[in-house]
Amino acid sequence: MTEYSSNGVVAYDVEDRIAWVRFNRAEKRNAMSPTLNRDMMEVLDALEFRDDVGVLVLSGEGPAWTAGMDLKEYFRETEATGLAGTRKAQRESYGWWRRLRWYQKPTIAMVNGWCFGGGYGPLFACDLAFAAEEAKFGLSEINWGILPGGGATKVAQELMPFRKAMYHAMMGENIDGKTAVEWGLVNEAHPLATLKDRVTEVAKVLLAKNPVALKATKDAMKRVGVMSYDDAEDYLVRAQEAANSFDNEGRKEGIRQFIDEKSYKPGLGAYDK
């Protein structure tokens, strides 16, 4: 059964341990207004520690994933309230993207259509990203006279080869799903008609893994990027030891089923939880 956030601009269903969360302002191409940003935080909050949720997928209703920040409500109307209003709106948008970046559960961006500007924040926040071949990605900021802010420049720089990122930011042209794969923005592109099937398949693989190990792995992958090799090695030892204190039996069971029971091979799949 579909549930809705307080203001109805985020919709979600939980089915077979997958939370399908959707931007729900199709008529405004899912542009991120302050209301949407608040509602999204509310929904992330509600789902994060639910036992019946193992993976979160973020997609959009209608032809857009998200058309980025709402130019009227996020920029023009909040700017008109002065600096305090602007900062509040920034905190609310950056806040849920950050929450998503460090989410307890694995997260997948399922980019069904338009993805512009500020949309690169939640796109980057999700651990994995799958796009429709028909989707269009753009740093359109330059087309209306600002730099790609709110982290968008950082996202392009982080995920794309430098020349591609520079071209993308300066030219204001859109790329499709397949090009987004080539340029490193998303993992895979599929025809829109089969996108959800592929994402479901991926989510099911994640659901079969040890959840403590998954959280430790995704955090580690994000943290080590700015560390030296020695710092990373040290962090990873400690991160595994911390994970052991949450999940003393899981990895021992993984070893037991392989070495003693010979019931699976870690090189070929996950142990039986």
Q: Which of 37, 34, 43, 41 is nearest to 11 (CA)?
A: 43
Using CB under 6 A, count the residues that bind ligand ACO: 18
Q: Is the dihedral of CA 187, 190, 192, 197 positive or negative?
A: negative
User: Does the protein bind ligand ACO through residue 141 (CB under 6 A)?
Assistant: yes
Of the residues 34, 54, 68, 151, which one makes contact with ligand ACO according to CB under 6 A:
68
Segment 203 to 222, residues that bind ligand ACO, using CB under 6 A:
none
User: Does the protein bind ligand ACO through residue 92 (CB under 6 A)?
Assistant: no
Q: Between 98 and 117, how does the x/- string for binding to ligand ACO read (CB under 6 A)?
A: ----------------x-xx
Nearer to ligand ACO, 133 or 141 (CB): 141
User: Does the protein bind ligand ACO through residue 168 (CB under 6 A)?
Assistant: no
Using the rule CB under 6 A, give the single segment among 13-21, 27-35, 45-53, 182-190 that binds ligand ACO. Answer: 27-35
Segment 30 to 49, residues that bind ligand ACO, using CB under 6 A:
31
Of the residues 59, 78, 140, 210, which one makes contact with ligand ACO according to CB under 6 A:
140
In which order are the strands placed within the sheet that holds 107-111? 3-4, 10-15, 18-23, 55-60, 107-111, 128-132, 188-190
User: Does the protein bind ligand ACO through residue 23 (CB under 6 A)?
Assistant: no
Of the residues 54, 106, 118, 122, which one makes contact with ligand ACO according to CB under 6 A:
118
User: Does the protein bind ligand ACO through residue 121 (CB under 6 A)?
Assistant: no
Residue 64: burial class (beta carbons within 10 Å; 0-12, 13-18, 19+): buried
Of the residues 70, 92, 127, 133, which one makes contact with ligand ACO according to CB under 6 A:
70
**Residue 77 Cβ vs ligand ACO, minimum distance, rounded to whole Å:** 10
Nearer to ligand ACO, 117 or 211 (CB): 117
User: Does the protein bind ligand ACO through residue 155 (CB under 6 A)?
Assistant: no
Q: What angle do CA 87, 90, 95 make, to 5 degrees?
A: 125
**Residue 175 Cβ vs ligand ACO, minimum distance, rounded to whole Å:** 14
List of residues contacting ligand ACO (CB under 6 A): 28-29, 31, 63-64, 67-72, 114, 116-118, 140-141, 150
